[in-house]
């Protein structure tokens, strides 16, 4: 009888062990042994551990947390940097394939970019924005402009007001202004945008001019558009339509003593500026196309895209109105404007206009940062305008833009201190996006795949 009882008891214990629910490990990631780049102060908080709960930073401590974690990442003394924001990005749209679009988003991520502002909107981008937010598509946080408002799409005040109301109701984050809009239509657009509560940003149409644009309340003026023309004294009586490429033709007429007043107006009107300086240093500079095409990131673009970039570049170099000596002065004035706008204006935001002429997503923003450093800005200033400043621009400073408890777990790890050398940002160990860790190995594998697809001329 005792043997039967013991057998039953052992069977019960065995059954109970098999049926007992397994203990769930909380969805928490521990990132240990890191130095935090504090972008607001431009300092380093050494020897820290970060606990991520789901998509948010739960704790930052110098005492190693105990407990169980779904993932443990040993930073081994790496530097942790808030995700960068590309404020002048372009996102492909149909008929480009979903695969190629998602590859473009991944290229941004591979450069530490966790937020992008798409500057040429399409209805598809509204869906894509939500898919990324929900996590069904891997990519940076998306803010998207409306389709282009330009001299062809907006020809009358009535048409301007109708377009603004349409794009606001469809849910675009802001309106994209392109060249060609006449003054009357522009003013109607501004009035309708204020009524609809939707910001507008982008180019400064020639007939509008930079001063009226600033007084009208742009959210951002991109490319430093209109500023060089704004330095030309009125008594020169030039034809504004003959300004050339972003004012290049007026370079010899620019009076740099007028920079102070123009920057002060920018500050007064609280208009941010997105320089996209790398676009000018690559497309419009006296650099031959082949040297640019030889750079390693070009393998992520299709041969058709590269051939088109080469054609445009060579046409520009052959243009008889383009003067390499004048370009040196043009570039000098732009860099001076950039420095003054950063320190005495309302502020700068980082943007590179990728993927445009020789600017590859994920790579070009680092070239933009190098250009900002050439203007005279420090690494600390540049990191701030690439991380915290965009969050402030979007009114989301409490949600992302720096490494802090309660903020989004969007950051990346690098081997060396970027406050000492910005190139350290290009040596990434991995990236955290919405609380999900992408290792360096995973990133490299995906980049190999993207390069392979590009080589097969898969554009669509």
**Three-state SS for 9?**
helix
Asked whether residue 128 is assigned to any structural domain, the reply reads: yes
Asked whether residue 59 is assigned to any structural domain, the reply reads: no
Q: Given pLDDT bands bounded at 50, 70 and 90, which one contains residue 10?
A: very low
> pTM of the predicted model, to two decimals?
0.91
Share of the chain above pLDDT 70, in %: 94
Cα angle for residues 75, 80, 86 (degrees, 5° grid): 135
Average model confidence (pLDDT) for the chain?
92
Per-residue confidence (pLDDT) for residue 13, from 0 to 100: 36
Helical pair 98-110 and 440-455, crossing angle rounded to 10 deg: 140
Burial degree of 239 (CB within 10 A; 0-12, 13-18, 19+): exposed
- Cα separation, 65 vs 221, in Å, equals 46
Segment 104-129 shows an average pLDDT of 97
Q: Given pLDDT bands bounded at 50, 70 and 90, which one contains residue 67?
A: confident
Domain count, the chain: 1
Are the beta carbons of 400 and 407 closer than 8 angstroms?
A: yes
pLDDT above 80: residue 149? yes
For residues 24 and 215, the model is more confident at: 215
CATH of the domain at 144: 3.20.20.140
Asked whether residue 81 is assigned to any structural domain, the reply reads: no
For residues 386 and 434, the model is more confident at: 386
Q: Comparing 7-16, 54-63, 157-166, which segment has the lowest mean pLDDT? A: 7-16
Per-residue confidence (pLDDT) for residue 421, from 0 to 100: 96
Share of the chain above pLDDT 90, in %: 85
Helical pair 324-344 and 364-374, crossing angle rounded to 10 deg: 80
Q: Given pLDDT bands bounded at 50, 70 and 90, which one contains residue 334?
A: very high
Q: Given pLDDT bands bounded at 50, 70 and 90, which one contains residue 457?
A: confident
Q: Given pLDDT bands bounded at 50, 70 and 90, which one contains residue 26?
A: low
| Backbone phi, psi, residue 60, to 5° | -130, 125
pLDDT, tens digit, for every residue of 276-327? 999 999 988 899 999 999 999 999 999 999 999 999 999 988 988 889 999 9
For residues 3 and 69, the model is more confident at: 69
Q: Which residue has the tokens 């903020």?
A: 407
Q: Range of 327's domain?
A: 91-395
pLDDT above 60: residue 16? no
Q: Where are the alpha helices (DSSP H) in 283-434?
A: 289-293, 303-318, 324-344, 364-374, 379-386, 388-393
Segment 447-457 shows an average pLDDT of 93
Per-residue confidence (pLDDT) for residue 88, from 0 to 100: 98
- Cα separation, 44 vs 63, in Å, equals 17
* Secondary structure element (H or E) that encloses residue 213, with its range: helix 210-216
Burial degree of 222 (CB within 10 A; 0-12, 13-18, 19+): buried
pLDDT, tens digit, for every residue of 193-247? 999 999 999 999 999 999 999 999 999 999 999 999 999 998 888 898 999 889 9
Asked whether residue 67 is assigned to any structural domain, the reply reads: no
Residue 34's nearest CA partner among 81, 73, 77 is 77
pLDDT above 50: residue 174? yes
Asked whether residue 24 is assigned to any structural domain, the reply reads: no
Asked whether residue 405 is assigned to any structural domain, the reply reads: no
């Amino acid at each position: 009888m005792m043997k039967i009882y013991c057998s039953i008891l052992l069977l019960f214990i065995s059954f109970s062990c098999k049926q007992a629910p397994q203990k769930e490990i909380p969805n928490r990631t521990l990132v240990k042994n890191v130095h935090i780049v504090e972008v607001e102060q431009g300092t380093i908080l050494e020897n820290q551990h970060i606990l991520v709960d789901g998509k948010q930073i739960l704790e930052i401590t110098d005492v190693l947390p105990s407990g169980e974690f779904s993932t443990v990442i040993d930073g081994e003394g790496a530097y942790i940097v808030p995700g960068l924001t590309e404020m002048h990005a372009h996102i492909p749209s149909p008929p480009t394939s979903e695969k190629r679009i998602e590859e473009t988003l991944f290229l941004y991520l591979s450069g530490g970019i966790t937020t992008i502002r798409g500057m040429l909107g399409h209805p598809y981008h509204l869906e894509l924005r939500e898919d990324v937010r929900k996590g069904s598509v891997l990519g940076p946080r998306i803010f998207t402009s409306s389709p282009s408002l330009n001299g062809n799409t907006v020809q009358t005040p009535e048409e301007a007001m109708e377009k603004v109301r349409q794009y606001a109701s469809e849910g675009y984050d802001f309106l994209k202004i392109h060249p060609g809009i006449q003054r009357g239509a522009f003013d109607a657009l501004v009035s309708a945008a204020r009524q609809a509560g939707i910001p507008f940003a982008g180019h400064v149409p020639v007939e509008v001019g930079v001063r009226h644009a600033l007084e009208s309340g742009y959210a951002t003026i991109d490319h430093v558009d209109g500023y060089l023309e704004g330095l030309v004294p009125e008594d020169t009586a030039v034809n504004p339509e003959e300004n050339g490429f972003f004012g290049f033709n007026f370079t010899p007429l620019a009076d740099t003593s007028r920079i102070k007043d123009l920057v002060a107006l920018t500050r007064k009107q609280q208009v941010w500026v997105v320089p996209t300086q790398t676009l000018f240093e690559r497309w419009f500079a006296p650099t031959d196309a082949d040297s640019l095409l030889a750079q390693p990131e070009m393998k992520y673009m299709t041969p058709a895209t590269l051939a088109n970039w080469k054609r445009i570049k060579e046409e520009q170099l052959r243009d008889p109105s383009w003067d390499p000596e004048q370009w040196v002065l043009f570039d000098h004035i732009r860099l001076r404007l950039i420095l003054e706008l950063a320190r005495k204006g309302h502020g700068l935001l980082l943007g590179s206009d990728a993927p445009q002429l020789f600017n590859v997503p994920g790579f070009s923003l680092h070239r933009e940062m190098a250009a900002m450093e050439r203007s005279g800005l420090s690494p600390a200033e540049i990191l701030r305008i690439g991380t915290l400043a965009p969050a402030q621009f979007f009114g989301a400073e409490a949600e992302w833009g720096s490494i802090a408890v309660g903020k989004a777990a969007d950051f990346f790890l690098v081997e060396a201190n970027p406050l000492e050398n910005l190139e350290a940002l290009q040596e990434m160990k991995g990236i955290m996006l919405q609380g999900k860790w992408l290792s360096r190995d995973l990133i490299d594998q995906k980049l190999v795949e993207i390069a392979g697809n590009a080589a097969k001329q898969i554009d669509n």
